[in-house]
Amino acid sequence: MQTLEAGGQAHPEIDRQLAEAIDPWLEHMRWRPDFEKWRNGRLWQETKQKRTLEILRLFISVAGKDRTLKGLRVLDLGCGMGGLSVALAREGAVVQPYDYNPAYCRITRLRGQRYDLQLSPVNGGGEHLPFEGSFFDIIVCMDVLEHVQRPQDLLAEANRCLKPGGLLYITAINRFAFNDPHYHVRGVNWLPRPLATPYLKLTRRFKDNSRFSDRQTLEEMHYFRYGQLPKLAARYGFSKTLEMGELEWGLTAAPSTARTKLNSAKGWKAKVAGALQKSGLLGPLYRLYRFAYKGTYQLLMVKPV
C-alpha cells in the first residue's frame, strides 16, 4: 500500500471508499499486463501529477507571469477522478473541479478528503459552464475535447469564463495518432474511419457500451489535425495557441526561464538533437512526427487582455 506524502494524514476508511468507487471504472482495462500497477496509479492519482504541474508552470512562465500556482483560481474542466484537482489544491491554487460524470465528482471529493481538502466538484457538461464570466485565471481541460458533443462550444465557454490574459491548458487527440490514446491500438487512426470499428473488434479492444452508457465509440469522438486547432482557437476568442512540443524543443520563442528539453537533454540524445537543430532538420522532423505519429497535443491558449 502506497503511503501519503509528507503533510497528509492517514484515512484508511476514505482509502477503502475510494477503492470501491474507482474499481468499477477500471474493470474494462483488465487486459493490461500491468493492470495492478496501473490501478494503483489511479488510486493514488494525485501523487502522479508532477509532470502536469511542471507544464502548467512552464505555460505560466511563457505567458510572462509568475510561475507560482498559489492563489490562482483554476477550473479543472473534466477533472476525472480528481488527481490533478487535489494536486493543484495542495499547491495552494483555488480549485474548482468540474466533470460530466457524477461518479467522478464523488471520487474527486473523497480524494480531497485524504488531505482534509473540502473540494466541491460540480457536475455538468463542457459546452455550458455554470460559472460567471472572467472569473478564472487558468482553465485546465485534459482529455475532454474529444468527448464533448460540440468542441467549439467548449472553447467559447472557456474563453468566456477566463479573465483577460487568462490561460487555457487543453489537450487534443491527433487524428493520425499512431497508438490510439483511448484504445491503445497501433495504426487504427491511419485507417479510414469506416474501417476503424471492425479493426478494433478484431483486436478485441472494442469497448462494450452496454455497461457504461456514456462510453463513446471511436467514430463518435472528436480527433483533430494539428493545423485545425490554432484556427479553431482564434475563431472562439483566443489570441494565440502554443504547443508543448515546440516549446520543449526550442522551436517557439520562449522566455529564458522556460527550460527546453533540448537544453536539458544529456548524452547521445542531446548530440542528436543538437545536430538536427544545426542542420535545420529538427523543426521539419518534429512537425512530421506531430502530424503522423504523436498521440496527444498539449496546447496553451491565451485569452487576449
With a cut of 80, say whether residue 92 has pLDDT above it.
Answer: yes
Quick one: average pLDDT of 236-246?
Answer: 92
Name the band, by pLDDT with cuts 50, 70 and 90, for residue 80. very high
Name the band, by pLDDT with cuts 50, 70 and 90, for residue 150. very high
Domains along the chain with CATH numbers: 12-302 (3.40.50.150)
Q: What is the rounded end-to-end Cα distance, in angstroms, of the chain?
A: 47
Question: Mind listing the pLDDT tens digit for each residue in 133-148?
Answer: 999 999 999 999 999 9
The per-residue b/e assignment along 11-32, b for 16 or more CB within 10 angstroms, e otherwise, is beebbeebeebbeebeeeeeee
Q: Provide the grid cell at 285.
A: 522532423
Question: How high does pLDDT run on average in the chain?
Answer: 88
171 vs 186: CA distance, rounded Å = 20
Question: Mind listing the pLDDT tens digit for each residue in 183-205?
Answer: 889 999 999 988 988 898 888 76
Name the least confident of 77-86, 139-148, 218-227, 269-278: 269-278
125 vs 225: CA distance, rounded Å = 24
Q: Compute the Cα dihedral for 75, 78, 81, 87 and give only its sign.
A: negative
Are the beta carbons of 94 and 73 closer than 8 angstroms? yes
For residue 123, what are the β-bridge partners?
99
Name the band, by pLDDT with cuts 50, 70 and 90, for residue 228. very high
For residue 74, what are the β-bridge partners?
95, 138
With a cut of 80, say whether residue 264 has pLDDT above it.
Answer: no
List the one residue out of 299, 296, 291, 298 whose CA is nearest residue 176. Answer: 291
DSSP-based three-state secondary structure for 41: helix
List alpha helices for the chain, DSSP H: 12-22, 35-43, 50-62, 83-90, 102-113, 151-161, 193-203, 228-235, 244-248, 261-264, 267-279, 282-292
Name the band, by pLDDT with cuts 50, 70 and 90, for residue 258. low
